[in-house]
């Protein structure tokens, strides 16, 4: 199931914003080898300037890898949208891929839905806990999107549900459209969850709905995390809301040092966005136009400042065409040189990795695209930083998908 591909090296293209097409799934805008030992400790020398990037194929033969989590022993837990959990034997090229036994018969994989994001608990080394987000079905009928807490066995061969659900009731579209769903732990231990609006016009602005939001949860209980902006709301769902007015959040990244969180989300035919997340903020997506129109009017702006003059403007917008941005993570460590602190964002339709430099105001000041990850591997979905500071990226082409390791040369 795995193969080893020679290392691919290339210069980082020092270009500004590079745009080329977005969206998606075929019908929507989202749309034993080496490596068995734990990852070795690597040195992280301080460097200056912008490094060249090297890309290694760690594993292949996968399908729509949605997310990744790094175990303390150097193995990597991955989710595939069809409803599979697997464990990579290591972070080096040719890592073996071993299925993880888990009861996943309730996962409803259709369109953009299925087994999606996962996140290891900060105390995973002691608790062995991780959380997944998936489309849930009962007797074959999809009912909701839900978060489930699991424990991974000591040998990594099986996973057991320990809180099912941690949180249920996230809205769904039976077609799977705009499902979200990316969980990421914040610096303070709260669980941030980006959700989709399920292509329903009124949900992004409805504070009693969990769709089109970034939620902030207590990972132990599934209830609201302390300090949530609507903690005193009468409606239980609203207490979970950190911010709202989103279309389809695909990535959530936490900035090292500051703890600030950014989301990456899909626009319709224009304006994918990266947003700096602020408590209680409205990001201005309202395809229902306050309930005055039926259906799902995608001609409205992603950030509608006419309807919502106080809406929070995007830190970055793609313009047209969209890229179908997906996972996001901050590069961190002196080995990255001038790229230390840059936000890396994958693109599905755009089939590239975008490196975004942030200004002092938190907005994106410039965007570059490294040549080795510009159209070379197809659609890029998960983007996560490994404990050793290397960047891991997954492809999402449907067949022979790969886990890529990106490192400075």
Specify the CATH number for the domain of residue 210: 2.120.10.30
Predicted confidence at residue 294, as pLDDT, reads 87
Cβ contacts of 231 within 8 Å, gap of 6 or more: 224, 239
Cis peptide bond upstream of 51, omega within 30? no
> Residue 213 pairs with which residues in a beta bridge?
244
| Tally of CB atoms within 10 A around 246 | 29
Cβ contacts of 347 within 8 Å, gap of 6 or more: 22, 323, 324, 325, 326, 353, 354, 379, 380
Structurally, the chain folds into a number of domains equal to 1
- Return d(Cα 303, Cα 293) in angstroms, integer: 18
Predicted confidence at residue 46, as pLDDT, reads 60
Q: Is residue 174 within 8 Å of residue 208, measured between CB atoms?
A: no
Q: Is the pLDDT of residue 28 over 50?
A: no
Predicted confidence at residue 172, as pLDDT, reads 97
**What would the pLDDT profile of 328-352 be if each residue is shown by its tens digit?**
999 999 999 999 999 999 999 999 9
Q: Is the pLDDT of residue 8 over 60?
A: no
- Return d(Cα 327, Cα 382) in angstroms, integer: 5
**What would the pLDDT profile of 376-401 be if each residue is shown by its tens digit?**
999 999 999 999 999 999 999 999 99
- On average, the pLDDT of the chain sits at 91
397: left (phi over 0), alpha (psi -120 to 50) or beta: alpha
**What would the pLDDT profile of 50-103 be if each residue is shown by its tens digit?**
899 999 999 999 999 999 999 999 999 999 999 999 999 999 999 999 999 999
> Residue 182 pairs with which residues in a beta bridge?
194
Predicted confidence at residue 261, as pLDDT, reads 98
- Return d(Cα 182, Cα 250) in angstroms, integer: 6
- Return d(Cα 35, Cα 387) in angstroms, integer: 16
**Checking DSSP bridges between strand 129-138 and strand 241-244, what pairing results, if any?**
unpaired
Q: Is the pLDDT of residue 21 over 70?
A: no
* Joined tokens for residue 363: 């907005």
Predicted confidence at residue 278, as pLDDT, reads 98
- Return d(Cα 187, Cα 345) in angstroms, integer: 20
**What would the pLDDT profile of 290-305 be if each residue is shown by its tens digit?**
989 889 999 999 999 9
Residue whose pair of structure tokens reads 């389809």 in the numeric block: 248
Give the global pTM: 0.90
Cα–Cα distance list, 63 to 36, 55, 83 (Å): 22, 19, 10
* Joined tokens for residue 66: 């949605």
Task: Go through the chain and tell me how many residues it has.
Answer: 409
- Return d(Cα 65, Cα 17) in angstroms, integer: 27
Q: Is residue 202 within 8 Å of residue 114, measured between CB atoms?
A: no
**What would the pLDDT profile of 147-169 be if each residue is shown by its tens digit?**
999 999 999 999 999 999 999 99
Percent of the chain with pLDDT over 90: 87
pLDDT grade, residue 285 (50/70/90)? very high
Give the sheet arrangement for strand 84-88, strand by strand: 65-70, 76-80, 84-88, 97-99
Domain coverage including residue 404: 5-408
Cα(first)–Cα(last) distance of the chain, in Å? 28
């Amino acid at each position: 199931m795995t193969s080893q591909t020679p290392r691919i090296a290339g210069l980082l293209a020092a270009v500004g914003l590079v745009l080329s097409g977005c969206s998606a799934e075929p019908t929507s805008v989202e749309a034993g080898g080496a490596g068995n030992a734990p990852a070795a400790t690597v040195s992280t020398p301080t460097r200056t300037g912008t490094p060249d990037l090297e890309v290694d194929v760690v594993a292949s033969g996968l399908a729509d890898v949605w997310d990744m989590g790094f175990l303390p022993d150097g193995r990597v837990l991955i989710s595939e949208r069809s409803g599979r959990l697997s464990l990579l034997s290591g972070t080096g090229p040719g890592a073996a891929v071993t299925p993880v036994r888990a009861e996943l018969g309730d996962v409803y994989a259709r369109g953009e839905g299925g087994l999606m994001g996962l996140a290891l608990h900060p105390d995973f080394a002691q608790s062995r806990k991780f959380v997944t987000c998936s489309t849930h079905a009962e007797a074959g009928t999809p009912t909701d999107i839900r978060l489930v807490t699991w424990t991974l066995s000591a040998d990594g061969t099986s996973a057991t549900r320990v809180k099912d659900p941690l949180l249920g009731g996230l809205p769904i579209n039976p077609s799977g459209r705009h499902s979200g769903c990316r969980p990421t732990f914040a610096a303070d231990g709260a669980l941030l969850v980006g959700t989709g609006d399920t292509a329903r016009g009124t949900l992004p602005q409805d504070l009693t709905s969990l769709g089109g939001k970034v939620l902030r949860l207590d990972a132990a209980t599934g209830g609201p995390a302390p300090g949530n902006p609507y903690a005193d709301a009468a409606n239980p769902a609203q207490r979970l809301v950190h911010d709202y007015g989103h279309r389809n959040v695909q990535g959530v990244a936490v900035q090292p040092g500051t703890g600030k969180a950014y989301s990456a989300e899909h626009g319709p035919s224009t304006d994918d966005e990266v947003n700096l997340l602020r408590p209680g903020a409205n990001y201005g997506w309202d395809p229902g136009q306050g309930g005055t129109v039926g259906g799902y009017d995608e001609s409205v702006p992603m950030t509608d400042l006419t309807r919502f003059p106080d809406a929070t403007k995007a830190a970055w917008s793609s313009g047209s065409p969209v890229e179908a941005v997906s996972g996001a993570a901050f590069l961190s460590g002196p080995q990255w040189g001038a790229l230390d602190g840059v936000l890396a964002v994958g693109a599905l339709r755009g089939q590239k990795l975008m490196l975004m430099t942030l200004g002092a105001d938190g907005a994106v000041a410039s965007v570059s695209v490294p040549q080795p990850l510009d159209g070379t591997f197809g659609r890029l979905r998960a983007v996560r930083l490994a404990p050793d500071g290397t960047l891991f990226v997954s492809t999402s082409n449907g067949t022979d998908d790969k886990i890529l390791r990106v490192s400075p040369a």
